[in-house]
Structure 1
């Protein structure tokens, strides 16, 4: 793809292994607070609940504070644990702190970033909270790979809103024709990028998507 000069990545679930890092964060918190059930049992319910609330947050149906509280409240309710508001708020704050300290990346992340950095300008576009996204990148050792980072809080909007991508392109001094987006979320990352005229590569296993797709990050070498 000789016309491509700028490669934009999503962060969570694309480079940074959100589920693994999330599990480790909850494990340490539950141990400290003697929560009476396993992390595995909790996560079985929490993961789909979290995705549901993130979608509502993306659609501006709830605030950041409501997201942080309600996803935990519903997850605790689902395992019949009557958590007090104080405990939920304490865990919510600790979770954000611990999450940003985790370092696990998906297999092939550093190798593909080294490969791409030699050929392209690299950037991040993320819907994650600004105060933790930069810490995640720094603590996992990938900050220096990226020339720009655009968060939803920069624009006060969230992917797939076109203004998020337009702001990121402007910040990177890039055009749509010379840019490509890589992400795990078809709605937010892939269709959002395609709708503004950027090319896109889906990182995931939904075989109904007929565009460019990889299931391992090193497969990006097929396209870039």
Structure 2
């Protein structure tokens, strides 16, 4: 069913438009080869991905800082597969990961088609908890920057989703109203519930197939958003 009265659409970036998992895997493959890290990539990723999500949750909740996130997610992943990697190597891998990650540009299936469909009728924006230096490069390299009027990141706003302050900051930057705005993102807590609790409508991009309440609007493919917009 079409959502009426929407003028501004706010997207999350990682895991919503930009295919983080695919680009991250390609990045690890590159930097592990460069540093002669002899590890089964799939085995590493199987432990890294949930560890990374957990550290991002801690980061969202202000339990750790950016530097701790970058180091600890790698340290804990190597420890989990019982691989000894010295701290100086972990720190270098962490730095190289940030540099190389935006050089891979895979988007979710249907991203460009959806943005082309939406742009003539809505003002489009980004709200991301990702780091400014990385997010800007990701958008430029994947050639989607021109679709968006504004980009709000947690470092600019001073808080992270789901804190209502970041949604208020994004609306002020966009000169938009919450009653005519919509948030689209993959993270139920940060993107969807964060927006809904703020008073903004939201749709969950539930590509991971999680069981969520039927009262929450959701799609499993970006192209399905056309049914709402």
- Settle same-fold status: TM greater than 0.5: yes
TM-superposed deviation, 1:8: 0.3
Unpaired stretches in structure 2, ≥5 consecutive residues: none
The answer to whether residue 200 in structure 2 is matched with residue 195 in structure 1 is no
Deviation at 1:133, TM superposition (A): 0.2
Residue 203 (structure 1) shift: 0.3
Deviating above 3 A after TM superposition, structure 1's stretches of 4 or more consecutive aligned residues are none
- 1:16-55 → structure 2 map (5 Å cutoff): 16-55=18-57
- Secondary structure at 1:28 match in 2: helix
Q: Which residue of 2 aligns with 1:207?
A: 211
Q: What is aligned with 1:183?
A: 185
* Number of residue equivalences: 224
Structure 1 position 206, deviation (Å): 2.3
Quote the offset at 1:209 in angstroms: 2.4
CA distance in 2, matches of 1:167, 1:107: 30
1:112-155 per-residue CA deviation (whole Å, 9 max, x = no partner) reads 00000011000000000011000000000100000000000011
2:152 is paired with a residue whose SS is strand
Which sections of structure 1, spanning at least 5 residues, go unmatched? none
Aligned residue in 1 for 2:133: 131
* Aligned counterpart, 1:63: 65
Q: Secondary structure at the match of 1:202?
A: strand
TM-score w.r.t. the length of structure 1 is 0.99
**Corresponding residue of 2:225:** 220
CA distance in 1, matches of 2:37, 2:50: 20
Is residue 2:166 matched to residue 1:161? no
The answer to whether the aligner puts 1:74 opposite 2:76 as a matched pair is yes
Where does residue 102 of structure 1 map in the other structure?
A: 104
The equivalent residue for 2:94 is 92
Could you tell me how far apart the structure 2 residues matched to 1:89 and 1:79 are?
18
- RMSD between superposed Cα atoms in Å: 0.7
Q: Which residue of 1 aligns with 2:147?
A: 145
